Structure 1
Amino acid sequence: MELLSPGGTEEKARLAFLYGADAVYLGVPGFSLRAGAEPDLNRQSLQNLKRDFPRGRLYGALNRFVLQKDLGRLREVLQELRTAPLDALIVADPGLLEPVRSILPGIELHLSTQANCTNAGAARLYHKLGFSRIVPARELTLSEIREISDAVPELELEVFVHGAMCMAYSGRCFLSQEMTGRSANQGDCAHSCRWHYAVVEEQRPGEYYPVEQEENHLAIFSARDLMLLDALQEIRRAGVTAIKIEGRMKSALYTAITTRAYRAALEGTPDAPQWREELFRLPHRPYSGGFLLEDQAVHEPALESRGAGYRLMAILGNAPEGAPLPLTVKNTLYRETPTDLLLPDGTITPLTSLDLRDSEGNALNRATQKPASYLAPPQELAKQHLEGGILRSRGEGIPGTVASRR
């Protein structure tokens, strides 16, 4: 199965490939459902990714529902993509087929989960329209996906296996639009479902009654996160072609860890249990097997977040063997900051001291975003390839083992 990871930026896309992704998806400027979180697709950045990862595939998310007034701008954007090395477009709105086909006639078409494809008849129709892959509605069970695969075997199927889930059916939410004027269906979701709510009685303004969960009723809106790491073989047997990680709005640390965890699980590497634990150390809402595994916990709201015990400190760039590596600093880093160094080869090395340098090779007590700073390779890792390594701070209160937790 293909492992598809969130890009969002060139930096995150690069890390996704380094940590094991077969493909990465990024937003098409102005027409993605994460429009406010991603920079515009930069043709040079895409070409850099293709040059450095020639076997990696790049998918552009064109998954907004497009209004009539946007069609002119859409054609301009598609013209700009003619020289971009995209392998496929992820499309939700069937009205985009004509402009896409006329301007980018050779590009693959993947149907977005936003299109709400729930049965074999719809899947067959989309295949006849030119889609080579569909991402079925997230509300389907594994047996229903297997039935679609059996009925339309020539069609590739892709399913989400990890990340945030929307409380609205197939993500078609109007809550953000009604409350803030920001449309989720136009790529500008305010995530109103994650806010905390209370009840106010009309005759008692200012008196707030909390919304609570009991056995027979639910708090509102906030869905649990999805985690299907333990069901990958079942998913493969159901005829699924590709598995997808949600998270273009999340950090580079999230991209690297989730990608490596699912790559290790797919290949059954010895470090797979260790990377499974790392999924619980990332900030997340309580995990669920979702509708796919018919997990009843999917109907229970997420009342708290968990696992925020680490902080992304810096990302290591490339340098000749033994030379100090350039740092992309995310949070101020001190020589004595206790950190873990995560590497694309799957190793995680605790470091108690960091040999920080400036551009002249002089020792630094701390590294910040500016001016440029470097890390002299730790002696025990001097022979390893360190590009794409991630330094994270080790917080207090991290559980020693979480392998049995869901």
Structure 2
Amino acid sequence: MKKIELLSPAGNYEKLEMVYNYGADAAYIGGKLFNLRAFADNFNDDELEKAVDLAHKLNKKIYITLNVIPHNEDLKIMPDYIKYLDSLNIDGVIVADMGVFQIVKENSDIPINISTQASNTNWASVKMWKELGAKRVILAREVSIDEIKQIKDKVPDIELEAFVHGAMCMSISGRCLLSNYLTGRDANRGACAQPCRWKYYLMEETRPGEYMPITEDENGTYIMNSKDLCTIEFLDKMIESGLDSLKIEGRMKGIYYAATTTKIYRQAIDKYYSGNWNFEQKWLDDLMTISHRNYTSGFYFKKPGTKDHNYDSSSYKHTHKLVGKVIKDLGNDHYLIEIRNKLSVGDQVDIIKPLGDPIPIKFPKMQDNKNGENIDTANPNTIAKIKSDIKLYEKDIIRKKIKKVQ
């Protein structure tokens, strides 16, 4: 049985290393041009080449996003950029626009994946893309599991991909003009200001300047603020729907989010293919530790209703925070730790590895790596040296429970 692909986001090279280390089969990244995450770090040309080398050295796949909805001026340099990407031997590009699709075909042999932005919700449109030469269609977020099965039955000879975790857009397949209208930042060219997450007021046309709040409670009401997608509880049904790839959203998220989501979905996929599937509560518990909005099953079983929006807040919640990352094994049980948030000797923390459950420990004595002095507390953006009885490896991460759940 061909195992389904786990596809993770990487907004920069560090995140790429982390998702591969924590179990992703493939990653999707953006270059400096033509991708819908203009405010991610993204990859310059040197970094793109380094990223492709890393992926193929690890026998992983890498896809580049070209999913903007372009205007005429965007097309001037696109052919040369596509020829450059073709020279890198990437595994595919993700495109949303038919014009971009045609330019890729005319200037390269790169396999083309059709973006969720193209709003494919039925088998006929998927069949059309297949006949035009697409290798894969990333289905719209608005399809149900039953519809995925129907599409696969009608068009069995094209790859299908769908999102399994991450932020949801209140607009159909993310094709939204709200940000452009209110801020001048074009969501369809990678610069969304997320005005759907804002708090709004009503004003009656004959009473200008009199603003009436839309309130659910004392915190206000965020009328367009969708919950985040989470499919871990029914991942077996996602796999059995006929999909070829399961995609995690979040190129703008940090390394703790990237590592944790990848690890948990990796564990669930492997459990399914072991022939002994059952949902494990610890998976969802770990997904609660990362920064997220309340979770929803999206459109997979029904059209989302009022309970699938956050009306009281646009903020994220999480139970844990990243405090450190192992960056070097010095030998003799000594390690260098890159400090990401304030960390003190004696703090109760968890060691997170690509395999296995979190390992709870009290953080040991540490030294400042610059001067070798013993320190009780390390601050962000510093390097500490520790001795550990537990074998650590580069890219193991250290998390700490926050005192007040946010």
Give the TM bin, normalised by the shorter chain: 0.7 to 0.9
Aligned twin of 1:46: 51
Q: Answer yes or no: is the 8 Å Cα contact 1:260–1:346 preserved in 2.
A: no
Q: TM-score, normalised by structure 1?
A: 0.88
Deviation of the 1:359 alpha carbon? 4.7
Quote the Cα distance in structure 2 between the aligned partners of 1:11 and 1:232: 27
Distance 1:85 1:332, change over 3 A: farther
Conserved in 2, the CA contact under 8 Å of 1:260 and 1:275? no
Q: 1:205 Cα deviation (Å)?
A: 5.2
Would you say the 8 A contact 2:94–2:114 is kept in 1?
Answer: yes
The C-alpha deviation readout for 1:318-353, integer Å capped at 9, x for no partner, is 425445333333223333443222111133122322
CA distance in 1, matches of 2:339, 2:290: 19
Q: Per-residue deviation at 1:361?
A: 4.7
* Aligned residues of 1:136 and 1:158 also touching (Cα < 8 A): yes
Decide which of 192, 197, 213 is 1:194's aligned counterpart: 197
The letter of the residue matching 1:345 is L
Q: Secondary structure at the match of 1:256?
A: helix
Q: Distance in 2 between matches of 1:93 and 1:291?
A: 24
CA distance in 2, matches of 1:334, 1:206: 51
Q: CA deviation at 1:76?
A: 3.3
1:7-26 alignment, distance < 5 Å:
7-26=10-29
Distance in 1 of aligned mates of 2:72 and 2:316: 42
What is the aligned partner in structure 2 of residue 367 from structure 1? Answer: 378
Distance (whole Å) between structure 2 residues aligned to residue 322 and residue 347 of structure 1: 24
Counterpart of 2:297?
289
The alignment's C-alpha RMSD in Å is 2.6
Q: Deviations over 1:243-293 (max 9, x none)?
A: 111111111111111111111111228995323211122222221111112
3-state SS of 1:376 partner:
strand
Distance (whole Å) between structure 1 residues aligned to residue 151 and residue 186 of structure 2 = 31
Q: Quick check: 2:344–2:377 contact (8 Å CA) kept in 1?
A: yes
In 1, the alpha carbon distance for the partners of 2:129 and 2:332 equals 53
Correspondence 1:4 to 2:16: no
- Alignment CA distance shift 1:300-1:44 (3 Å): closer
- Secondary structure of the structure 1 residue equivalent to 2:78: helix
The CA deviation at 1:295 is: 5.6
CA contact (8 A) 1:312 1:392 kept: yes
Give the aligned partner of residue 102 of structure 1.
Answer: 106
1:54 Cα deviation (Å)?
Answer: 2.0
State the secondary structure of the residue aligned to 2:350: strand
1:392 paired with 2:399, answer yes
Structure 1 298/170 Cα, relative in aligned 2: closer, same or farther at 3 Å? Answer: farther
Conserved? CA contact 1:43–1:83, under 8 Å: no
Change (3 A) 1:47 1:149: closer
Instruction: Provide the secondary structure at the position in 1 that maps to 2:191.
Output: coil
Q: Is the 8 A contact 2:52 2:62 kept in 1?
A: no
Partner of 1:339: 349
Name which of 68, 74, 78 aligns with 2:78: 74
Aligned residue in 1 for 2:92: 88
| Partner Cα separation in structure 2 for residue 352 and residue 207 of structure 1 | 56
Distance 2:376 2:89 in 1: 42
Render the CA deviation track for 1:22-64: whole Å, top value 9, x for unaligned: 111111322111111233342343145236x522111111111
Given candidates 99, 119, 122, the residue that maps to 1:119 is 122
Please give the secondary structure, in 1, of the residue aligned with 2:120: coil
User: 1:324–1:37: structure 2 CA closer, same or farther, 3 Å change rule?
Assistant: same
Letter of the 1:376 partner, please give it: I
Within-5 A mapping of 1:58-69: 58-69=62-73
Aligned to 1:403: none
Paired residues for 1:97-246 under 5 Å: 97-105=101-109, 107-202=110-205, 204=207, 207-212=210-215, 220-246=223-249
> Sequence identity, in percent?
33
Q: Give 1:308's aligned amino acid.
A: H
Q: Structure 2-normalised TM-score?
A: 0.88
Aligned length: 390
Tell me the CA shift for residue 101 of structure 1.
2.5
More deviation in 82-91 or 243-252?
Answer: 82-91
User: For structure 1, which runs of at least 5 residues remain unmatched after alignment?
Assistant: 400-406
**Structure 2 CA distance, aligned partners of 1:157 and 1:322?**
48
Aligned residues of 1:60 and 1:89 also touching (Cα < 8 A): yes
SS in 2 for 1:247: coil
Deviation at residue 206 of structure 1 after TM alignment: 5.2
Amino acid of the residue matched to residue 118 of structure 1? T
Question: Which range moves more in the overlay, 343-352 or 205-214?
Answer: 205-214
* SS, match of residue 20 in structure 1: coil
Q: What is the distance in 2 between the residues matched to 1:179 and 1:103?
A: 37
Equivalent-residue separation in structure 2 for 1:321 and 1:271 (angstroms): 39
Choose from 288, 292, 299 the match for 1:280. Answer: 288
Residues 103 and 330 of structure 1: is their aligned pair in 2 closer, same or farther, counting only changes over 3 Å?
Answer: farther
Q: Any stretches of 5+ residues in structure 2 without a counterpart?
A: none
Separation of aligned partners in 2, 1:62 and 1:298: 34
Contact 2:330 2:336 in 1 (8 A): no
- The yes-or-no answer on 1:352 pairing with 2:362 is yes
What is the aligned counterpart of 1:376 among 386, 389, 405? 386
Relative to 1, partners in 2 of residues 1:292 and 1:99: Cα closer, same or farther, differing over 3 Å?
same
